[in-house]
Amino acid sequence: MNSTGGKLYVVGVGPGHHDHMTFRAKQVIEESEIIVGYETYVDLVEDLIAGKQVYRYAMTQEVDRANQAIEFAESGKVVSLVSSGDPGIYGMIGLIYEILAEKGWSKESGIYVECVPGVSSLNSCAALVGSPLMTDFAVVSMSDLLVPWDMIVKRVEAAALGDFVTVIYNPASKKRVHQLKDTRDIFMRFRKPETPVAIVKGAFRESQEVVVTTLDKMLDHQDKLGMITTVIVGNSATFNYKGMMINPRGYSSKYKLVKEAASAGR
């Protein structure tokens, strides 16, 4: 049994607009006494945290904010560690559990920890460009801050070879300029140049920009690339229909998709 009464909610607030935040996310933020998070993510819930203790951090201070959130919960506080998207997809819940494991935390007797899932970029961006994720897909981050670039290359090659629709997180930053080009070159070895590609910046935010292009022309849109951009590369079956990426599920091989009109006079 939790002896301190402390609770730690690791909350995904989705793409940013409250319409896409889960009821549970709003509920635990309201319950919390303390809010901890990267300053940009805290700003997304500014109107929900009036009167609470708020601790904002810079982007590269993940370990500091994770430890502070845990320490507050261990002292008996109810804490929400907030992030955009889903905390279980390139998010903070992994680091929280790593730290707790090193501390010898017990689910039965330690602080209460709950991961509150949210809409990730792969969901929100796919919703804006059609139906690109109808079959098996892979997700790869271009950030080599924590993962060596040669390992990322192996994962990209595996996704390309396996004909997976591929979602690319963190495609570029001010310091990372070659990664997406190298990735495009890998896909060009396995996919046709006209393979549909979606580039979505700031999904469901005021800064939202959406481009549906092709694999050979994806680098023509450098101004759209950045840390809040997600790229979706289609597979060999993906097609572009009036600016939308459509990835067939396979129904056409078993069913007639369009019913014939009833005969006149019946």
DSSP labels, 22-70:
-HHHHHHHHH-SEEEEEHHHHHHTGGG-TTSEEEEE-TT-HHHHHHHHH
Q: Are residues 81 and 182 in the same domain?
A: no
The domain boundary residue, chosen from 119, 137, 164? 119
- Flag whether pLDDT at 215 surpasses 90: yes
Same domain, 102 and 149: no
Residues 180 and 87 in one domain: no
Same-domain status, 160 and 231:
yes
Tell whether 262 is covered by a domain.
no
The answer to whether residue 242 sits within a structural domain is: yes
d(CA 46, CA 48): 5
86-131, pLDDT tens digit by residue?
999 999 999 999 999 999 999 999 999 999 999 999 999 999 999 9
pLDDT for residue 263 is more than 70: no
**CA angle (135 as vertex; 208, 91 as ends), nearest 5:** 50
Asked if 22 and 53 sit in the same domain, the reply is yes
> What local confidence, expressed as pLDDT, does residue 77 receive?
97
DSSP state of 220: G
**Rounded Cα distance, 156 and 187, in Å:** 8
pLDDT above 90: residue 176: no
Residue 250, pLDDT score: 62
User: Average pLDDT of 247-255?
Assistant: 71
Which CATH number characterizes residue 51's domain?
3.40.1010.10
177 within domain boundaries: yes
CB-based burial label for 164 (10 Å; 0-12, 13-18, 19+): middle
- The answer on 81 and 25 residing in a single domain is yes
CATH number at residue 182: 3.30.950.10
In this structure, the answer to whether residues 62 and 143 fall within a common structural domain is: no
In the chain, how many domains are there?
A: 2
- Domain ranges, residue 31: 7-119
Q: Is residue 220 part of a domain?
A: yes
Percent of the chain with pLDDT over 90: 77
Q: Looking at the structure, tell me whether residues 158 and 209 fall in a common domain.
A: yes
- Looking at the structure, tell me whether residues 131 and 52 fall in a common domain: no
143 & 106 share domain: no
Q: Find the helix or strand (DSSP H, E) in which 198 lies.
A: strand 196-201
CA gap 113, 93 in Å, rounded: 10
Closest listed residue to residue 245, CA positions, set 200, 188, 183: 200
CA distance 26 to 258: 42
Which tokens in the block code for residue 138? Answer: 């892979």
**Residue that is last in its domain, among 58, 85, 119:** 119
H helices present in 75-227, as ranges: 93-103, 121-129, 149-161, 179-188
Are 102 and 151 found together in one domain? no
| Tokens coding 239 | 């097609």
Assess whether 194 and 227 both reside in one domain: yes
